[in-house]
Chain A
């Protein structure tokens, strides 16, 4: 068992280093920095709420880039190893399939989270340069973005194992991510539908990640009592990712190469 955990750690570390060694994240960081600078122009439209609008714009952008990266990286990770036949070198070693799946996911998620942290730091630096106070909920919002990226990344990895192409996997993951923002509304509709349709729809909605749960910025900024609390957020993230990884391992362990 120790060997399996060690293999998981080695694969996670390699995936993390690979992402930082190639230019993908340098491009992402450059894009974010440029976009944040344009945010300074946008703030002119915000009247007396400049600092708040700028903070929200930057946090939203960090989250969008983070989530898009998580979906893309997790959708392509296993498929790319299969297409390049690198999987032969990995799985011909004493590496259990779950170690490979979990290691890939952990490495990619860690690299996305570190990219979100870097973009957040750049954004905070821009705010301080403009003499705006960094809002107290700023770190909490970045942590929530990281958790969102982990949840959607785990789902993207699972979807990639049964979808027919990278594009379909990315599109399906984005649909789930969008639907996840309106989960309470979807549950309300399922409840109102009743009958067979409602009975079928209600359990299916549990497969959709509850992204609205992670809306920390709005909850903390406007003091709306909708924040579920950190134990719930972390617990949900761990459970959802764990379920996706378990299902991914189930699918992956039957694959032949």
Chain B
């Protein structure tokens, strides 16, 4: 297996200045983590544990204070690294006056696809996420679940090697959650690496092969699928025990 993502002593400190007083908050504290190609890797943690910070460092939306973050061996945040990644943020926002097809085409073009490639690819992706019938509707008419599907479509339109999903099923109904899980499994079967964060332990349990538990910006534990499958109480028990340690 080759490495898809790597955090090496990655540290992020947020500095905020107010009336000359600087407040520093540690978002991520020396994270060492390696995700292999083709894995479905989950990040678990309480609010403020550093999950979103870890993802943003990967995407070049934040710059590390110390340490390095790399994507397929390339420094995170560079154009080459960004080309290899598709990102679904929590509650994605889209311009409401465009249709799903127009929006996905826009993000495809921004990812470096040619006009012809976008024209061929967009209907395929919309079919894949179950929006083919609604491709011509304005996004202002879409439900939350449908917008989330557009979010997945824009993340995979340029066929990235790695797909980063921040709370991908947050606030969705059980049927939509089921559909999304099947979609993620099919994407992974196509050889893509999935790196996701979620508060839903049961979803992480069903999807991931490995899970990292973050606590106060630090890596508290890495759990293998076999461990939670054999443990009484499953991943939830392991997670609760880990975050409560020394609390």
Interface residues of A (CB under 8 A from B): 3, 6-7, 10-11, 14, 17-18, 21-22, 84-86, 88-96, 256-257
Check if A85 sits within 8 Å of B62, measured CB to CB: no
Min CB distance, B118 to chain A, in Å?
Answer: 10
Q: Which of B107-115, B169-177, B205-213, B223-231 contacts A (4 or more CB under 8 A)?
A: B107-115
Residue from B56, B87, B109, B154 in contact with A10 in the complex, judged by beta carbons closer than 8 Å: B109
A92 engages B97 (CB within 8 Å):
no
CA distance A90 to B82 in the complex (A): 11
Check B63 against A256 for contact (C-beta < 8 Å): yes
Size of interface on B: residues with Cβ below 8 Å to A? 27
Contact B63 A10 (CB under 8 A): no
* Most chain A beta carbons < 10 A, residue from B56, B83, B106: B106
Contact A88 B98 (CB under 8 A): no
Q: Report Cα–Cα, A94/B154, bound state, in Å.
A: 14
- State which of A3, A89, A95 has its C-beta within 8 Å of the C-beta of B92: A89
User: Known: A92-B82, A257-B56. Contact between A10 and B62, CB under 8 A?
Assistant: no
Task: Report yes or no: B111 in contact with A94, Cβ–Cβ below 8 A.
Answer: yes
* B7 CB, min distance to chain A CBs, angstroms: 17
Please state if A257 and B61 are interface contacts (CB–CB under 8 Å). Answer: yes
Besides the contacts A10-B106, A89-B93, what 16 more A-B pairs have beta carbons closer than 8 Å?
A: A6-B109, A10-B109, A14-B95, A21-B98, A88-B89, A89-B87, A89-B89, A92-B59, A92-B85, A93-B107, A93-B111, A94-B110, A95-B110, A256-B56, A256-B61, A256-B63
A92 touches B87 (CB 8 A): yes
Contact with A along B112-130 (1 / 0, CB 8 A): 1000000000000000000
For A7, A14, A17, A90, which residue has the most chain B Cβ atoms within 10 angstroms? A14
Chain B residue numbers with a CB within 8 Å of A10 are 106, 109-110
A21, A93, A257: which contacts B110 (Cβ < 8 A)?
A93
From A14, A85, A88, A96, B106 is in contact (CB under 8 Å) with A14
Inter-chain contact total with CB atoms closer than 8 Å? 67
Alpha-carbon distance A6/B114, docked complex (angstroms): 10
Q: How far is the CA of A111 from the CA of B95 in the complex (A)?
A: 16
Contact B62 A89, beta carbon cutoff 8 Å: no
CB A248 to nearest CB in B, in angstroms, measures 18
**Considering only CB atoms, which chain B residue lies closest to A90 in the complex?**
B110
* Chain B residue contacts of A7, Cβ below 8 A: 110
Determine the chain B residues whose CB is within 8 A of the CB of A85 once the complex forms: 89, 91-93
Nearest CB of A to B236, in Å = 29
| A89–B110 alpha-carbon span in the complex (Å) | 10
> Hey, which chain A residues are within 8 Å of B63, CB to CB?
256
A88 vs B89: C-alpha distance when bound (angstroms): 7
Decide yes or no: A92 and B94 within 8 Å by CB, A3-B79, A10-B110 being known contacts.
Answer: no
**Per-position 1/0 for B203-245, Cβ under 8 A of A:** 0000000000000000000000000000000000000000000
The reply to whether B61 and A91 form a contact with Cβ atoms under 8 Å apart is yes
- List 11 contacting pairs A-B, 8 Å CB cutoff, sorted by A: A6-B109, A10-B109, A10-B110, A14-B95, A18-B97, A86-B94, A92-B59, A94-B110, A256-B61, A256-B63, A257-B62
The reply on B30 being an interface residue by CB < 8 A is: no
| B83: A residues at CB distance < 8 A | 94
CB–CB B112/A21 < 8 A: no
Q: B145: CB under 8 A from chain A?
A: no
Do A89 and B154 touch across chains, with their CB atoms under 8 A apart? yes
Residues of B within 8 A of A84 (CB): 93
| CA of A197 to CA of B91, assembled, Å | 52
Residues of A close to B91: CB separation below 8 A = 85
CB neighbours (8 Å) of B92 from chain A are 85, 88-89
Q: Mark B67-102, 1 if CB is under 8 A from A, else 0.
A: 000000000000110110101010111110110000
Minimum CB distance partner of B62 in chain A = A256
Q: Which of A11, A18, A92, A95 contacts B98 (CB 8 A)?
A: A18
- Smallest Cβ-Cβ distance to B94: which chain A residue: A86
Whether B154 lies near A92 (C-beta < 8 A) is no
